[in-house]
Amino acid sequence: MLSPLVGAAGCLAMLSVAGVSVPQAATAVVRSTTAGGQDLVAPTHPRVARRNSGVVADSYNWSGYVQATGRGTRVYTGVTTTFVVTTVNTSVPGDQYSADWVGIGGFQTNKLVQAGVEEDNIGGRAFYKAWTEILPQSESPLSLAISPGNRIVITVRETANKKDKHKQWVMTVANATTGRSAGLTVKYNISGSSAEAIHERPCIGSPCSDHLATLATTSAATFDPAYFTTSAPNVTAVYQPLLRPTTGATLYDIAMLPSNATPTTPAIATPSNANSHADGFTVADGSTVPAPPPG
């Protein structure tokens, strides 16, 4: 069965961030504060006081965390996370879509290499699928059984390639519950200026800005642990907590807004603050900030 998200899962982030120019930027006004800053009420999270783990940002299609070094600055060579596949609420009428993934790129760039799992409600039936994608190519579904509650490990890693100038990437989705995995190796040039772990409502057509899906109602998505690496592709990767930005990088805490958002519209998906190890967080439906995972 072909995925209903073929060619759609990995939209670029459509973001609004204070003082940052981002492709296809949202119009919502946001404030920002660095880690450890004062408590504030973000305009897009009305009446919800937060101590932010990163710079507050809004997106029409992403919710989660991104650390980025700026346009064209190549730093990140890999990202990995573990999460439990969410349970989709199939009692909601109509079709809704969601995806949980990690990737390199897509923030302030038009290139993205990613792998993840989609969790959808299609006509009252739950649909789960593992996939990889490099933009602007279509999604590549993986032959891997996925069920709600499965423990999944996703890794995107640049590997050595001496044959030509193109970078080589390995994208792997492993189902730790069943002991099976699948993946794809591709050649793909990318700046490597951002690394992210994201809960997304994907595009189901083109252009993405006009074809954002309705976000599926699911149980909370917890990414724990989540790591990035800046190690050279020809050596063993040394991983670091994703929510502890590398030197020169900025961590972005991204909430998802509905397409018709105004500066006071509540978010439709919101990340928690970082856990104590800065390697885990939770994304939950709605504008209430969920509790971070333990650890």
- What is residue 266's predicted lDDT score, i.e. its pLDDT? 86
Q: Which helix (H) or strand (E) holds 101?
A: strand 99-105
Query: If DSSP codes are grouped into helix, strand and coil, which group holds residue 207?
Result: coil
Q: What is the mean pLDDT of the chain?
A: 81
Q: Which has the higher per-residue pLDDT, 148 or 210?
A: 148
> 102: pLDDT confidence band, cut at 50, 70 and 90?
very high
Q: Which of 24-28, 44-48, 89-93, 271-275 has the lowest mean pLDDT?
A: 24-28
d(Cα 216, Cα 208) in Å, to the nearest integer?
Answer: 17
Mean pLDDT across the stretch 176-192?
Answer: 93
Transcribe 191-246 into DSSP letters. Answer: ---EEEEEEEPPBSSSSGGG-BPPBPPBSPEEEEEEEEE---TTS---EEETTSPP
> 47: pLDDT confidence band, cut at 50, 70 and 90?
very low
What is the pTM (predicted TM-score) of this model? Answer: 0.85
In this predicted model, what pLDDT tens digit does every residue of 202-231 receive, in sequence order? Answer: 988 777 767 889 999 999 999 999 999 999
Whether pLDDT at 54 is above 60: yes
Nearest residue to 194 via CA among 81, 11, 68, 103:
68
The yes/no answer on whether domain 15-285 falls in CATH 2.60.120.700 is yes
Transcribe 140-170 into DSSP letters. Answer: EE-S----TT-EEEEEEEEE---SSSS-EEE
Task: Output DSSP code: residue 272.
Answer: P
- What is residue 291's predicted lDDT score, i.e. its pLDDT? 92
d(Cα 24, Cα 62) in Å, to the nearest integer?
Answer: 13
d(Cα 294, Cα 276) in Å, to the nearest integer?
Answer: 7
> 26: pLDDT confidence band, cut at 50, 70 and 90?
very low
In this predicted model, what pLDDT tens digit does every residue of 254-283 receive, in sequence order? Answer: 999 888 877 778 889 999 999 999 999 999
Whether pLDDT at 46 is above 50: no
Domain extent listing, the chain: 15-285
Mean pLDDT across the stretch 43-64?
Answer: 69
